[in-house]
Amino acid sequence: MRRFFWIFLVVGLSACPKDVTKTPVPQEDVLVVGRLAAANESPQEPGVVTLEIRLAMPESIKPVMRKEGRPIAEAQEEMMARVRVDRSTVCVVDGVAGDVSRLRVGQEVVAVPISGSCAMVGAKTLLADAAEVYDFRSYQVRFLTKSLEQIPTWVNDRKDPARVNSSGKEVSPVPLAAGKVLYFSAGLLPPVREGESPRGALRAGMVRNGALLPWAEKGGLRPYRTEFARGSWAPPQELVFPDLPEDASLRVTWVSEDESALLAELRLPGKEPRLVQSTRQGKGSWGPLEAVPDAAGKAAGDGQRFGKQLGAMVWTVYEFGSSDLWLKFQNQAGQPVEPRINTLGAEWAPRLGPNTTLYFCRGDRQLLFAKQTVSEVRLPGNQRLPLLEAAPTGDGSLLFYRLPRYTPGELDWDIFVSKKQGEGWSAPVPVDEFRPE
């Protein structure tokens, strides 16, 4: 359906009343597609920019439509859009999120409006607030893949299993030893086109006898470990557990500082997720995965232990199509955390920081509960970088998290690191390029 958005946009706007009023008239939301004519910063609102977009069909789509024998709709008269971009907008250029200043005048762009924000002024001016803004090439790769004659190499060319980040998905970072040891979970993304290989590095534990194991073929996850030594990150090593089914997806979410115990979220086909645990002696083999008896909830996962003798725990409970965070202290029953944290939204990924701070996600936002206040975790820049699963080191000086690349169908998640700077964080660094002190 997205492939033919331009026809819908032209028909929708052509149907607007031909009056000359300057009062905005609400209308059904449409994608804003055209060439960037100007980008005007607001002196009263730092980080707010109004994009002036001349509505027009992207040139790269016209040959595809001609080839398929489809009519090319053109606007009967020049129409403009004024699109408001603020600090909550995600701006994607060359497949990655960053500041809207990376867009250039004359470039083909697409703005995805915030629901209910579209309005017309007269017959020629469309107003909208942007949830996302793309350079057209990035939008085409993400949503209109079939219209591409060639897939960009950056979509699937990173396949080195000796590195952490690949063109697959790397998620759930768990840093230890002041950021010099990293546990993470990884998996493959579906191929872009039929007959192609899945995207991502083929790591240990993904293939047997030349064929993908069921968990990898179905887009699941398995945990890996790497450490920084002799000036570089070691090739990630698979975590092996006895009797783990071949179709099980497993994501480690907490590891003790001495690496003798861990918690993980186990998902089996057709079953609810479970919070499981494993232990080992010294640096030996990990023992069997066992359900965590104290984790209340029909479907539980994503847990962290903390406190004296690691007797306290926080975890995610999945219910009613959403999720909440639960908490238990030593010798007490678990219960939902307070309403400032648990809301009608989906809360997940609890990660403990120093001084009883709690990092957690609500939907697609990374939040922090500290000093009795919930705030959003932001990285440098005027527009939003959509980080998730933020996990601090023990002293809070480093923050590991995941950021997306905007690839076809599914996002390609990679792991990044930032250093603490005052009340905020430094610019993101891919973990393979990060050098712990």
pLDDT digits (tens, 9 = 90+) for 166-177: 999 999 999 999
- Once rounded to an integer, what is the mean pLDDT over residues 367-394? 96
* 3-state secondary structure at position 234: coil
Q: What stretch(es) of the chain map to CATH 2.40.50?
A: 2-147
With a CB cutoff of 8 Å and minimum separation 6, the contacts of 199 are 155, 156, 166, 167, 168, 188, 189, 190, 191, 192, 407, 412
Global pTM value: 0.92
* CA angle in degrees (0–180, nearest 5) for 176-246-228: 20
Q: What stretch(es) of the chain map to CATH 2.120.10?
A: 154-433
| Local confidence band at 11 (pLDDT 50, 70, 90 cut-offs) | very low
pLDDT in tens, 26-76: 989 989 999 999 999 988 888 899 999 999 888 877 776 676 666 655 655
Distance between CA 393 and CA 390 in Å, rounded?
10
Q: Which residues of 161-200 are buried (b: 16+ CB within 10 A; e: fewer)?
A: bebbbbbbbbbbbbbbeebbbbbbbbbbbeebeeeeebbb
62 with 149: CB under 8 angstroms?
Answer: no
pLDDT in tens, 185-199: 999 999 998 888 999
Both ends of the chain: CA-CA distance in Å?
A: 50
Whole-number average pLDDT of the chain: 91
pLDDT in tens, 260-307: 999 999 999 999 999 999 999 988 999 999 999 888 777 999 999 999
What DSSP string describes 104-129? -TT-EEEEEEPTT--EEETTTEEEEE
- Is pLDDT of 19 > 80? no
Share of the chain above pLDDT 70, in %: 92
Fold of 154-433: Neuraminidase (2.120.10)
3.90.1310, 2.60.120, 2.40.50, 1.10.10: CATH of 2-147 = 2.40.50
Closest CA to 134 of 317, 5, 281: 5
